[in-house]
Structure 1
Amino acid sequence: MLLLPGFGQTAAAWARASKALVAAGRYVVTVELRGHGESDWSPNRRYELGDIIQDIVAVIQQLPSKPAVVGANLGGLAALAAISESPEPLASALVLIDAAPRMAPAGLDRMASLMTMDADGFSTVADAGRVVAEHLPAKQQLDLEEVKRHLRRCDDGRFRWHIDPAYQGFKVDASDRKAAQRRFTAAALALDIPTFFVRGESSTKVDRESMHEFRELVPHAEFADIPGMGDAIIGGRNDAFDAAIIGFLERAIPRSKLRPQGGVEPRMLRDAMGCFATGVTVITTSDPDGTPMGFTANSFTSVSLDPPLVLFCVKRESASVEALRKRGAFAVNVLHIGQQAISGKFASRIEDRFAATEWELWEYQVPIILDAIANFECSIREIVDGGDHVIVLGLVKRVHYDPVRDPLLFFQGKYRRIHVAREESEK
């Protein structure tokens, strides 16, 4: 994969997204655009669109295979032209981020304004951040560390954008914009590889009209709006953005299938089971004296709605098994993304796992962990053999849940987090 940053950005903008792509099994190459970041500044000030397009062609031709190219605004549009205008196939797929042949003039002017505000430099990164914040949608949070990555400290001690001051691409006049638009439109019409068009839902550069025109130019393209994001969506901590890109790649250019592994050796079986993503729960009960007991588990599932049955599994040698038999009841506490510490505590060997954990008792006198995303109080219907575990089947007696929480997940032996976008109508 070849990742191309946008105008004013550096390759550092891809730091988080590239890690997600590598974790998904992709080989990732990132580069700086001409005059940006750590790339050399052109001694003869050659920063025309054609120069940037030629640079991209030169980079792709050095790669061992046709890459999937992902480009943000300027990087994406230059890649679009490079791929479509080449007489030889250059890429296996193209992802365009906030990049359409016809960009909204107001958004481009706003970007030009932002990139020309540093003529005198900024005294601090925070000063630059305040300027950037004015160009973000109200609900998008500013990441000062991300702003810092795109600044350089000059000899006078002040901060300026990490771009050659001679670069004039953001100051093009109306005629230059129209010429570029015609070139990109022709390139889009000629595009014949899998294409994914991604924009922040609050983008000022790519409006609905821009998207409609692109749909007509590239009818085979897929589209995605990233909720809560504006013009800068690749630098943020955005799981939705990463998931959208990875999902497209899995559909368009799936990785080579691995041959199935033989046998069911415990380590192999554990790793294979780890490919099934689950939520994280704490199962609680109490011994006959009322002492609370609990442990972390992800082997929880719904069995039936009528009657309401659930089950979980626990190791046969666990001290909780005897307490469960005697108490005849348990609670399932489903954790949210802010409760990883609770999961870790109840998965450890410390004696008082309930210390500093808020809980209460309901009818069956088993601990109910407060502030969980969901709680199920259950009476035990049956405990059956499950090899080196026992399977506990419970009848749900009482439920509490908080639908606006985001779940804590467990996948391949690690905690994961995901933000669930909720439509206004669901609130």
Structure 2
Amino acid sequence: MSLIEYKGFGGVPLAADMLGDENDPAVLLVPEVGQGRTAWREVAEALVLSGRRVVNLDLRGDRELAPHIEDLRAVLAQMGSRPVVVAAGRGSWIATRALGLDGAHLAAGLVLVDMPVDEDAVESGVAARLALPTLVVRGGFSPAQDSAASEAFNAALPFGESADINECDLELASDRKEALLGQLLEFLERRQPREAMEFKAGSDPRTLRDAMGCFATGITIVTALDAAGTPVGLTANSFTSVSLDPPLLLVCIANTAGTAPVLRGAAHFGVNVLQIGQQPASNRFAARGEDRFANQPWAPGQTGVPLLGGSLVSFECQRESLHEAGDHFILVGRVVRAQFEPHRDPLLYFRGKYRRLHFA
């Protein structure tokens, strides 16, 4: 077991225990508000023995739910793969709100243990928007009371199922925990099998994204000038060399990117391949609402495009062609100039995480 730290909403540090092999399917445990990660420790250790990698999270010391919701979304965005989220008590309220909009992109499934009555989740449509496999467990840690509101919540879930441990007539806490673990494992084996995952046409697009993430890449920042001469740029890892004669490269840009219109019309652009010291720049140019060039050293190239100082390589390109490709467009550039420092180590990206090169 190792102690790791995630960055929550506003940069608040959130501690978590990491247990198990990093190659095993992931489970994220979210405790009841006001409880620490120790509440889940026995369950976490049992899940590891069953072939799971477990992240056992501590919540911030705040009674308001809104910061917790943003914290959970931030943690999920930092994880290298989609986990099954298992939440207890009011932690279930946090999980339902955090995953109610685009949950299928952040998590592979959701388990709600002993969630208090949550009429607002039904009335506001939160339950109906939980478009990922969801298991509702009642009586996991203590006997639960029957509730019509709980039944209404279950009925509103698009992909919901329920388990009532009370029906097992368990009196001992240890027996109740064993029953809870059994329900968790049965759900995990169906919804997050340990064998190889598979994408087929028409499947969840996030599964394809996870598959693509198994290809390790470098990271670039693509730059250009807008019509007013203001520098713009964005982080991209879909980059490759195309040809040496003539000297061509390409980058793939999402149609929804804020800088996409500028890059579509740019006669010249730059591709800056990042080194390990430029991880903060990668984050800044990937975030929305950031002043991306603030405190970022850059200089105009011979065509005027902004080239980032300290990069592993900076390619200055003349636009060669543009091709539509689904939700992206492919920008092909003819290299007119390249500056590089071969002794720096590249910043890498693999399975949703930054990586460093380990030389043999």
Provide the TM-score with structure 1 as the length reference: 0.39
- Higher strand residue share: 2
Which protein is bigger by CA-based radius of gyration? 1
Provide the TM-score with structure 2 as the length reference: 0.46
